[in-house]
Amino acid sequence: MLWVDKYRPKTLDKMMVHEDIAINLKNLVTEQDCPHLLFYGPTGSGKKTLIMAVLRQMFGASAEKVKVENKVWKVDAGSRKIDLELTTLSSNNHVEINPSDAGFQDRYVVQEIIKEMAKNRPVDARGKKCYKVLVLNEVDKLSREAQHSLRRTMEKYSASCRLILCCNSSSKVTEAVRSRCLNLRINSPTEEQIVRVLEFIGKKEGLQLPPGFATRIAVQSNRSLRRAILSFETCRVQQYPFTSNQAIPPMDWEQYITEIASDIMQEQSPKRLFLVRGKFYELLINCIPPVIILKRLVSELLKKLDAELKHEVCHWAAYYEHRMCLGQKAIFHIEAFVAKFMSIYKAFLIATFG
């Protein structure tokens, strides 16, 4: 088991970051009247950990007895029948799904699953009817239609089930859904907090941490706790007694994007564009989300760029990131961005150096 999972706090009391939110959540749940919850915040900030802890607080240890199911849902979509296969993680009292795995058919998933859950409400030990909890991940990736239908089902079945939504950016969740939930912003932990967690893990694992080592990992992790713990473990595998100047290995895809960036800086021509396209394909095959590719690429390019071009490049990056969300195939837009960058950069080089 990876350290990320091994040292994940199981209960709200044991939280090492966001202690204040944890206390508030505990109070909320123990008062029995739990509203719908919407957790949002950057990756690696601890949303999932909090959700799990909340579930445990609600249902006790039974929330951890989960079973994985690959379930096929038969959905009647007007004129035709659709079969949807989706992985669910469920205990007696809660179901967790990633509706966006179903792609553009996500709206059916949301409706159907909630309907089915509402049908068989569990009965607790004292014979009192209680609610079920549905955890929906990546709500921001749901399509508009799915979010609308989510809103409707939320109202209709609010008596029998509670929703816990989880997403990175609340701006991509419709107002209607947001206003029906208790919104909880989970910030990224500060670097000091990350250092504290790393030192805690180091102590548990019985490792000697050279001074400043944890800080360096924390800085490089970009304030993502998950990232920090993962690279900490990588370092441990790479070389144990730690040395204070030990290199912290980057993720392979990040390295790859750095390569792409230097390719782009070297030569600006259609031929090079074609070569770069092949490299993007390689990343896409490995399911690296295109938005992340673009973001990373821009930050790599900006590092090497003259200050007067930065503004324009950022503008175009934002432009094509937006279009990527509107369009179907991301590579078209990434490539358009790269072409635009090449065009700008080449003009700049000619103007500067003749």
Which residues lie near other proteins (CB under 8 A)? 1-2, 5, 43, 48, 51-52, 64, 66, 68, 70, 87, 89, 96-98, 101, 137-138, 143-145, 226-227, 230-231, 233-234, 237-238, 249, 251-253, 268-271, 273-274, 277-278, 281, 284-289, 292, 320, 323, 326-329, 331-333, 335-336, 338-340, 342-343, 346
As given in the structure block, the two tokens for residue 341 are: 């960058």
Q: Which of 64, 33, 65, 50 is nearest to 130 (CA)?
A: 33
Gyration radius (Cα) of the chain, Å: 23
CB of 281 to other proteins, least distance (A): 5
CB of 238 to other proteins, least distance (A): 6
CB of 230 to other proteins, least distance (A): 4
SS3 34: coil
Q: How many CB atoms lie within 10 A of CB 14?
A: 12
Q: Which residues contact 211 (CB under 8 A, 6 or more apart)?
A: 244
**Closer of 109 and 126 to other proteins (Cβ):** 109
CB of 326 to other proteins, least distance (A): 5
**Closer of 72 and 123 to other proteins (Cβ):** 72
What is the C-alpha to C-alpha distance for residues 36 and 180, in angstroms, rounded to an integer?
7
What is the C-alpha to C-alpha distance for residues 307 and 268, in angstroms, rounded to an integer?
19
18: left (phi over 0), alpha (psi -120 to 50) or beta: left
**Closer of 158 and 336 to other proteins (Cβ):** 336
Residue 300 and residue 261 in contact, taking contact as beta carbons nearer than 8 Å? yes
**Closer of 98 and 170 to other proteins (Cβ):** 98
**Amino acid present at 225:** L
Residue 60 and residue 92 in contact, taking contact as beta carbons nearer than 8 Å? no
End-to-end alpha-carbon separation of the chain, Å?
58
**Closer of 89 and 158 to other proteins (Cβ):** 89
Placement of tokens 């924390």 in the chain: 218
Residue 235 and residue 244 in contact, taking contact as beta carbons nearer than 8 Å? no
CB of 276 to other proteins, least distance (A): 10
CB of 149 to other proteins, least distance (A): 11
Residue ranges with strand state E in the chain: 37-40, 67-77, 80-90, 94-97, 132-136, 161-167, 182-185
CB of 335 to other proteins, least distance (A): 5
**Closer of 158 and 249 to other proteins (Cβ):** 249
**Closer of 183 and 234 to other proteins (Cβ):** 234
Residue 157 and residue 149 in contact, taking contact as beta carbons nearer than 8 Å? no
Q: What is the SS3 assignment for 63-100?
A: HHCCEEEEEEEEEEECCEEEEEEEEEEECCCEEEECHH
CB of 314 to other proteins, least distance (A): 17
**Closer of 127 and 351 to other proteins (Cβ):** 351
CB of 159 to other proteins, least distance (A): 26
**Closer of 193 and 221 to other proteins (Cβ):** 221
